[in-house]
Structure 1
Amino acid sequence: MSSRTLRALALATAALAATSALAACGSDDDNTKADTAAGAPAEAKTIKLGYFPNITHAPALVGVNKGLFKDALSGTDLQTQTFNAGPAAIEALLSGAIDATYIGPNPAINGWAKSKGTALKIIAGSTSGGAGLVVKEGINTVADLKGKKIATPQLGNTQDVALRAYLKENGLNADTNGGGDVSILPQDNATAVQAFAQGAIDGAWVPEPNLSKLLLESKGKLLVDEKTLWPNQEFVTTHLIVSQKFLKDYPGTVKKLLQGHLAAVKYIADNNADAQTAANAQIESLTGKALKPEILTAAFKNLKFTADPIASSLYTSAKHAEEVKLLDAVDLKGIYDLGPLNELLKAAGQPEVSDAAAS
């Protein structure tokens, strides 16, 4: 998208706000609606946005660091909160502590299932790719994984499900207690990176930037690049969700949040080097430690930032979780609301995105 397109997005948002016939429903929380013109979508005085200090959340990192959300939200105050794991972010959304968050697919599926489809909506994609299985030398095929110890970030998380599904498809089993043909040991990414370096585990299925850390710092070998397992080599790693209550009460603010998100995705595409610097600066401000330049560059290269939620991969991930007994059967119909995003994309002359189960 060009700078002209970015201006078009801003104009489109204003036009949509002026012409929409959506009526705002009453709210029983403390977030008083901002003054709006008659018939315009209601806007909140404050929006609480969650994200992770992780490079897979680069649109959030860049959007906050460069003030893109602040510019798009105009009269709405942006408050942010960071999380280290999806379950914590979902709990915050369920409790009302945050209104929207960047998050991985499996935590969103779990939140949808836990709330029986009442808590959240996926409103945009954010990141695709950037995950896989890194192993030590001597492991050359999936058959070589038998009897080995492999780490994942968390039991039931996106990468954990991906590994278990991959093993099952290749005739290997693994239970949730670390037993079976392959011993899967869920542990946080920092622990897994250290354990691999020390030889305590044989490999790990992890997202960026941990994948690049294992490859570049510990001389690991990429046995499975997850994108090769998906149609068109695309699968959802991170997307943007919002609470259904906030979406219902403040549709105008949600559209402005999406405008900021689109601006961040565009900024990364148009200013990749500066976007890397901005994302790393935000990570350092949140964690006290920046990524090494070579890790940052490798991770960015392995990720695709897109507003397309790649919905088909979400449905497949849910099916995989069911097949490995980490998720009861769940009806995902209605989990997406891409209407506001597609209105902005269409107004800017960009292709609309789909919520279909199969591409």
Structure 2
Amino acid sequence: MRLRSRIPLVATVAVIAVGVLASCSRAAEAPAPAPAASGTPAAELRLAYFPNITHAPALIGLDKGFFAQELGSTKLTTQPFNAGPDEVAALLGGSLDAGFIGSSPAINAFAKSNGAVRLIAGSTSGGAQLVVAPGITTPDQLKGKIIATPQAGNTQDVSFKKWLKANNLEIGTGPDKVTVQNLDNPRTLDLFKSGQLAGGWLPEPWSSRLVDAGAKVLVDEKSLWPNGQFPTTVLIVRTQYLQEHPDTIAALLRGEQKAIDFATGNPAEAKTVTNDSIKKLTNSALAPAVLDRAFSELSFTIDPLAATFPQLSKDSVTAGATEKETKLAGFLDLKALNSVLQAAGKPAVDAAGLDKQG
């Protein structure tokens, strides 16, 4: 399953993605002061997402027209990506306004940009696993093996490297180390089938696709978090865009809430819509067993699970994705989301103090 060549932005930003994320140590600086909000509806909203089950609310919102309906006269332009670091490069480069993205790249974007992005909502919890060849049953058996993650610094890459360190496993080459190979998810599946990879720490549906190809679950990331909840996918936006077009962002959030309500209230149809969308983007649909398993491994929530982000920031340091812990003061801006939730008669979500400027 590969993204079609009609989306060249992925290729152009991939070269600079590592550079964009490499120097996240500026997190200690205070976020840039905000200009006064104009409240003018935007002429266009450029939105990013992945063709993954973990981005089902985005796929459903697009397919069912929930975003377009709420945005009204604002033109919606969309761009799919394979992994978060590429999306961050495009967002910070000014070619995107908002994006569904993993939690670790969201933190890195905030740190690197000195507060030029804000996290405004959640989307998906769970749905990531370390799946390996069936003969591997203990962490020590990963020594001398090659394990894939989608991209250096992405959410699963950080989780895997943190887990390796917790299990006293060294990253590198040789019989006593674990080689971490960053690969596009479709390539990971191909190489696992051919025996060239021992497995991967992957998001859905890719962990389920490897299971379908014979892999076994060694670690379900849900087991590493309280109550099994951690933010796999969140929604971020450029701070300037949020300040200049709060009504447009509120419309985007209303569309997302409609998509999440649809996914939770109509699970069978949600699977069909998501699978059809993935097929359109990648020329390949998921087998029914893979689709069912993938959906069972995650949940959808507009709550960003803010209380988990201080730990996620520490994990990025542990994994070597950042040099020092990101100061998260001002990272979240949930004013628009809580206004949308209040208008819909739903409870507000907690920013865990991360909406306060440092």
TM-score range with shorter-chain normalisation? 0.7 to 0.9
What's the CA shift for 1:321? 1.4
Distance 1:180 1:106, change over 3 A: farther
Query: Does 2:238 correspond to 1:240?
Result: no
Mapped partners of 2:67, 2:174: distance in 1: 43
One-letter amino acid of the structure 2 residue matched with residue 298 of structure 1 = R
User: Equivalences for 1:1-359 in 2 at 5 Å?
Assistant: 25=37, 41-117=39-115, 119-175=116-172, 181-216=177-212, 218-329=213-324, 330-356=326-352
Mapped partners of 1:303, 1:267: distance in 2: 15
Mapped partners of 2:175, 2:136: distance in 1: 19
Mapped partners of 1:178, 1:269: distance in 2: 46
The superposition leaves residues 5-53 of structure 1 with CA deviations (integer Å, 9 ceiling, x where unpaired) of xxxxxxxxxxxxxxxxxx9646xxxxxxxxxxxxxx3211221111111
Distance 1:354 1:167, change over 3 A: same
What's the CA shift for 1:54? 1.5
On the 8 A contact 1:178/1:185 being kept in 2, the answer is no
On the 8 A contact 1:123/1:241 being kept in 2, the answer is yes
Mapped partners of 1:288, 1:135: distance in 2: 26
* Residue number in structure 1 paired with 2:5: none
What's the CA shift for 1:322? 0.5
Q: Which moved more, 1:45-54 or 1:64-73?
A: 45-54
On the 8 A contact 1:315/1:357 being kept in 2, the answer is no
What SS does the corresponding residue of 1:101 show, helix, strand or coil? strand
What SS does the corresponding residue of 2:291 show, helix, strand or coil? helix
Q: What runs of 5+ residues in structure 2 fail to find an aligned partner?
A: 1-34
The superposition leaves residues 325-357 of structure 1 with CA deviations (integer Å, 9 ceiling, x where unpaired) of 220222121111011111221232322212227
What's the CA shift for 1:179? 8.7
What's the CA shift for 1:244? 0.5
What's the CA shift for 1:178? 8.1
One-letter amino acid of the structure 1 residue matched with residue 81 of structure 2 = F
TM-score (norm 2): 0.84
Q: Which moved more, 1:349-358 or 1:147-156?
A: 349-358
Q: Percent sequence identity over matched residues?
A: 47
The superposition leaves residues 188-220 of structure 1 with CA deviations (integer Å, 9 ceiling, x where unpaired) of 21111111111112221111111001111x211
Mapped partners of 2:109, 2:299: distance in 1: 25
What SS does the corresponding residue of 1:43 show, helix, strand or coil? coil
* Residue number in structure 1 paired with 2:29: none
The superposition leaves residues 273-332 of structure 1 with CA deviations (integer Å, 9 ceiling, x where unpaired) of 111111122222222222222212211111111101112333212211102322022212
One-letter amino acid of the structure 1 residue matched with residue 76 of structure 2 = L
Mapped partners of 1:185, 1:81: distance in 2: 25
What's the CA shift for 1:62? 0.3
Distance 1:353 1:145, change over 3 A: same
Mapped partners of 1:351, 1:185: distance in 2: 42
Distance 1:178 1:101, change over 3 A: farther
One-letter amino acid of the structure 1 residue matched with residue 209 of structure 2 = K
Mapped partners of 1:305, 1:46: distance in 2: 26
What's the CA shift for 1:143? 2.5
Distance 1:219 1:63, change over 3 A: same
Q: What runs of 5+ residues in structure 1 fail to find an aligned partner?
A: 1-22, 27-40
The superposition leaves residues 66-113 of structure 1 with CA deviations (integer Å, 9 ceiling, x where unpaired) of 011111112322221222221221122122212111111111112112
Q: Which structure's CA Rg is the greater one?
A: 1
Mapped partners of 1:172, 1:340: distance in 2: 43
What SS does the corresponding residue of 1:44 show, helix, strand or coil? coil
Mapped partners of 2:320, 2:81: distance in 1: 26
How many residues matched?
A: 319
Mapped partners of 1:183, 1:88: distance in 2: 22
On the 8 A contact 2:61/2:255 being kept in 1, the answer is yes
On the 8 A contact 1:149/1:182 being kept in 2, the answer is yes
